[in-house]
Structure 1
Amino acid sequence: MNMQVLLSTMNQRNYNLLNEMKISSDTIVVNQTNGNQIDEFDYQGNYIKWINVTGKGLSKSRNIALYNSFSEICLLADDDLEYVDNYSELIKIQFESHAEADVLVFQVEGIEKKFKKYSSNSKNINFFNSMKVSSVEIAFKRKSIIEKNITFNELFGAGAIYSMGEENIFLIECLKKGLKIKYVPIKIADLHIENSSWFEGFNKDYFISRGASFAAMGKKISVLLVIQFAIRKRSKFNKHMNLFNSIKYMLRGRREYFKNF
């Protein structure tokens, strides 16, 4: 069983990122920058395909990486990760142990501050708990994704029309098409948690994008997702945003998505 990291990044001028992230497996790098070029080379015994592209958008980057991959297992990555020494073997062992799973969700710990609270037990991922999954936790069997014609929705993610939700839409699409997703309590990386390039707080634009992302997950389920999200996150709202307005803006994003797309 072989594995490739699918790494999305921007404006890299050299290959130092591979060392900074402690890459020790084959990797497809998509670097969104001001030129188009493809380099293939060996890095510490691992195959690297480095693709410079001028297009923008995180989901576009992930799709390019997916199209250029050829391994059995793919691991999604951003450039703010530092992988544990044996991440490749840990991931492959888990796929062998959970042969029924098409997608596995792993643990990632924050460096500057706590990232998430994880369960110590394995569990299946369903429509609702998939909302809590981040892209850097996701690995999948490439064949399962390609055969079901699943891609990342390029309307969503950093640099797109809607700034978030691409990984959750991806997981929902996997579930809709009958793929099995499972969480396993295995740490694969540490994450630098700094100021986000897109998250500016729970404001109007955030909730419009969130509502649109719920719409993309399904018309019937989207209203329920809007309501549960508002209730679950209400304690984090600031004084300028209340429960009613958060729902109002998410429903606006939902309507906008159905009207335009």
Structure 2
Amino acid sequence: MSRIELLVAAVRQDTKALPSKMNIQSDAVIVNQCDEDQTFENDYTDRTGMVCRIKCLHRNERGVGISRNLALENADRELLQFADEDIVYNDGYTELVEKEFDAHPEADMLMFNVKAQEGRETYYNTDFARVTWKNYGRYPAYAIVARTAVLKNAGVKFSVLFGGGAKYSNGEDSLFLHDCLKSGIRIYRTDVSIGHEVAERPSTWFDGYNDKFFFDRGVLYHFLYGSLAAAMSLRFVLVKRKEMCREKSVLQCYRLMKKGIRQGKLEEREGNF
């Protein structure tokens, strides 16, 4: 039996068909945002003939952070692996993951290669190395595999303010890794590839470089950078100005981010994080 449990965040999916669609080859917890509330388990036989336990939690609530936290609460295997509904895993990925953790006892968490659709790539690992404050922000949640006991003992959870279905746009992955580093979790990257993203689907949060994009980015930067949020915001709009500041001036974009920083401070004072 695999030592891994896949934690899948899904939206309005057929949870009986999803394990085959994703080529899941381990036990899994699927949290499916839909219009009902029920919990049940299915036995699923993967293509190798192994019987896997699939725990399905259908919930009438919205927010990817809520789904990932609920899946994390239900994880009970040695290793947990975050996943999205549109990832397809390679045959034998469980053995690759287990072998990599056995070879690196110093790692509490490993970031594996999962190939994104063209134009959506944020990272590609070519070596084994430590993930630090300098480079943690590029990794998506579906790259993460962690030792369950370490993560639960640290008490780190996903923000429910950010990501698809939440109040503010993307950033929950970066915030999660930020808090993992802050708690002392030892994160490494590896060049081992375990799967790929299927055909691109419409974004659940991105609707262009509009007011909301920059405002929400400012809220995120408050939680990521604290007192350095304004300086990092200015750096962001200057570096990205050719791509993101075509319809607004750099100053307008910066002011929107500073407005978002003030909102982030308010959210923190009210305990909404």
TM-score normalised by length of structure 1? 0.93
Percent of aligned positions that are identical: 29
Query: How far is 1:41 from its partner?
Result: 2.0
- Note the 1:78-157 alignment, pairs <5 A: 78-111=84-117, 115-116=121-122, 118-157=124-163
Please give the alpha-carbon distance, in whole angstroms, between the structure 2 residues aligned to 1:50 and 1:154.
Answer: 21
Distance 1:234 1:118, change over 3 A: farther
Amino acid at match of 2:250: L
Distance 1:233 1:97, change over 3 A: farther
Amino acid at match of 1:12: Q
Q: Is the 8 A contact 2:113 2:193 kept in 1?
A: yes
Please give the alpha-carbon distance, in whole angstroms, between the structure 2 residues aligned to 1:223 and 1:112.
Answer: 32
Q: Is the 8 A contact 2:112 2:125 kept in 1?
A: no
Hey, what does 2:28 align to over in structure 1?
A: 27
Moved over 4 A (4+): 111-114
Q: Is the 8 A contact 1:112 1:194 kept in 2?
A: no
- Note the 1:55-70 alignment, pairs <5 A: 55-70=61-76
SS in structure 2 opposite 1:39? strand
Please give the alpha-carbon distance, in whole angstroms, between the structure 2 residues aligned to 1:233 and 1:181.
Answer: 28
- Note the 1:48-59 alignment, pairs <5 A: 48-59=54-65
Of residues 18-27 and 247-256 in structure 1, the stretch that sits farther from structure 2 once superposed is 247-256
Distance 1:232 1:70, change over 3 A: farther
Please give the alpha-carbon distance, in whole angstroms, between the structure 1 residues aligned to 2:264 and 2:41.
Answer: 39
The reply to whether residue 75 of structure 1 matches residue 81 of structure 2 is yes
Query: How far is 1:227 from its partner?
Result: 3.5
Hey, what does 1:16 align to over in structure 2?
A: 17
User: Of 203, 208, 232, which residue of structure 1 is paired with 2:210?
Assistant: 203
Query: How far is 1:115 from its partner?
Result: 2.5
Q: Is the 8 A contact 2:15 2:56 kept in 1?
A: no
Amino acid at match of 2:247: H
Query: How far is 1:156 from its partner?
Result: 1.4
Please give the alpha-carbon distance, in whole angstroms, between the structure 1 residues aligned to 2:123 and 2:170.
Answer: 21
Of residues 154-163 and 237-246 in structure 1, the stretch that sits farther from structure 2 once superposed is 237-246
Hey, what does 1:194 align to over in structure 2?
A: 201
Distance 1:60 1:117, change over 3 A: closer
User: Of 170, 174, 184, which residue of structure 2 is paired with 1:168?
Assistant: 174
Please give the alpha-carbon distance, in whole angstroms, between the structure 2 residues aligned to 1:100 and 1:220.
Answer: 32
Please give the alpha-carbon distance, in whole angstroms, between the structure 1 residues aligned to 2:231 and 2:260.
Answer: 14
SS in structure 2 opposite 1:179? coil
Please give the alpha-carbon distance, in whole angstroms, between the structure 2 residues aligned to 1:58 and 1:48.
Answer: 19
Hey, what does 2:48 align to over in structure 1?
A: none
Partner deviation per Cα, 1:55-77 (whole Å, 9 max, x = no partner): 11100000000001101111111
Q: Is the 8 A contact 1:108 1:115 kept in 2?
A: no
SS in structure 2 opposite 1:40? strand
Query: How far is 1:242 from its partner?
Result: 3.9
Amino acid at match of 1:92: E
TM-score normalised by length of structure 2? 0.89
Query: How far is 1:125 from its partner?
Result: 1.3
Query: How far is 1:159 from its partner?
Result: 0.9
User: Of 236, 239, 248, which residue of structure 2 is paired with 1:241?
Assistant: 248
SS in structure 1 opposite 2:240? helix
Tell me how many residue pairs correspond in the alignment. Answer: 261
Hey, what does 2:260 align to over in structure 1?
A: 253
